[in-house]
Structure 1
Amino acid sequence: MDIGDCRSPALRDTPRSWWPVAVVGAAVIAVCYGFARYAYGLFVPRFGETFDLDPVVVGALSAVSTVGYVVGLLVAPAGAARSARATTLVAGCSATIGLAAMAVAPDVVLFGAGILAAGAGAGLVSPGVAQLVVETVRRGARTRAQTWANTGTGAGLALTAFTPLLPLGWRPIWLGFAVVAAVVTAAAAWSLPRATTGGTATGLPDDGTRPRPALLLPLLLNAVLLGAVSAPYWTFSTSRVGEVGLSTAVATWSWCAIGLVGLAAGIAGRVVERYGLRATGLAIWTAWSAGIALLALAEPGPAGAVVSAGVFGAGFMALTGLCILWGAHLFPAAPSRGVTWAFLAMGVGQTAGSSLAGATAGMLGLGPTFALTGLLGLAAWMQLHHRFAPPALTGADQPAPAAG
């Protein structure tokens, strides 16, 4: 089902071009995800020096970001119900404020508050942009618009990758992120179209359709596991690369690989159509876990670090896309509900995973932490049991995958 099919024929047939909405949406997603949410991991060593942070506090601060993200997700449906355009702009403003607060923070308390606001922007932006596409782009072009808009995550990661090499302290760099976020948000306010009708808030019928808990639980377990396994990499991968004696340049190229190789995750939908959701998911989970575990090696070398990052980026974005396919299938009358459940569960997993990874790193070190994280990822093989397996999808069930 194409979200927004139940809107008026006039809206479905509107001739408005899709690419301006996609490009501006991608730019806002890039600053909210690439800058405000995920760039934290790039600068963990510098944050630690400035605020005298140990691994436990570093993990806790990463968890604060995820808490903000979850709060944003919870608020986003109601916000998009009133105005998807306003929700998108509030996301950009929240990211801007958070980044600026982090840049000028005199202590770890204000720094954490900035992290919270920045994370909230990431939670708000994807539902806002997705709904805006439904409201302003003709039906036949929405798949392209949604797909291109969601490339903002990988683009944002790639754009921030080389910033640690700049001959500046982290505060000017972070202030620069805030300025870019402000400019992008202002451009979005000037250029994003308004909805052409005053239809239903979500563009979806509220018919009360709910999947049985037995069908929803496997999706939630998969999403929680995805969040828990990804969190240590986002938080500690840069620190681990430095710990094994590799240069800042290697860490930079590794982060760039997460974003650039992650763009290849767009092929996941076609693979699912051919091999099914379970087979595709388990293959990706296995390769992804192996890629994460590469950083557990005492001497992964530059090639190992970059390969690990590329596999992580592609795997994370592909598995997020599979969560979207899974959730949309469970809520055929209202696909966004399933996606929201999946993303909230992933946020819970990331919150727990960040704190647990910090505690584990404090006790055992980063190498064993990445080894245990890779092993944890193999828990996805529980999907071989029918009670934990994803549904069998048909070609008609496949929305375009998107990175979260």
Structure 2
Amino acid sequence: MTIHQPQIQVPATYMRGGTSKGVFFNLNDLPEAAQKPGPVRDQLLLRVIGSPDPYGKQTDGMGGATSSTSKTVILSKSNHADHDVDYLFGQVAIDKAFVDWSGNCGNLTAAVGAFAIRSGLVDESRIPEDGVAVVRIWQVNIEKTIVAHVPITAGEVQETGDFELDGVTFPAAEVKIEFVDPVGDAAMFPTGQLIDQLEVPGIGTFQATLINAGIPTIFLNASDLGYQGTELQGDINGDGDALSRFETIRAHGAIKMGLIHSVEEAASRQHTPKVAIVAPAKAYQSSSGKPVSEVDIDLNVRAMSMGLLHHAMMGTAAVAIATASAIPGTLVNLAAGGGNRTAVRFGHPSGTLKVGAEVTQIKGQWTAAKVIMSRSARILMDGRVHVPAVVLQPQQ
């Protein structure tokens, strides 16, 4: 007779951050075998989310069958000076047994401060009775500092409010996020050029801005690929040929950025780099039916995430957009009308988003001091996730 192991229970919190949602864990709450990086941790997170799922639905897990809802976060008290919490992000593939640890999720960053405070990872002395708690986050994946300004009421995290974020149905409390020195010691432009000629065998040669800020991103002119820049998910995600072209462009852009050495490696690096198309401001109707006027935006941007057009905009890609828009001569800056600017409002499939950046040029090299944007976050459920105990056994 076959003896089946029972399920294990792991404390977890299901949270929305920005236009994403994911399962949050305190590192110390994970089973001992999953408290360190490796196959067991990946197996656990895959099973929690419900991947790999050949049906693409993640019915048997917490995932929502989109790149925006197939996410995990692990937090711990920070080991870094002048930081409160260490934040590790895992992007879980939907149809593959793969967790991508190569980048950050800017949207879920908005929920990190709230979770850290509620979990006791932030010293009580740093939390006001009323006001704003400044949570200093060390982003482990990209080794960068992020500062979250979390509203506090009566000593507790305030989640409700009237801040509206396009791509999120209901209003909530505003959480301001500062991405500090998002480039660091790396080259903002890996090739040294504001605009490159990106040759993609079998597809064409395209102007491209290749930037490393927030997340490595490949910006292309929408018109060069036959798009208006006003497309919604249905215009691209149902076109297999278009998705294949985008993935091929992404792979060759990754090579040019020095992130991989061969096209084949792109399959194991799905989260980065991102590909985005830009176009001058043009009116359109968002996915919710809300009209977006040409006079309300500086440009339109559409971005691909995990092989599909994103329903809004990834937070890390918004960092790249803000940075590139502030540097005269990039494709993003030119699409916004060119010139010097410290902030930009762009249109995306769900509406609009305003982001700001502080950039300087030192000895011919561009650097970014910070990128600022507002998001919101909310706990959706907390308690324990249940998964079969077999996930903690090393695979043979």
TM-score, normalization: structure 1?
A: 0.28
Of structures 1 and 2, the one scoring higher in RCO (CA 8 A, sep 6+) is: 1
Instruction: Return the structure number with greater helix share.
Output: 1
Instruction: Return the structure number with greater strand share.
Output: 2
TM-score, normalization: structure 2?
A: 0.28
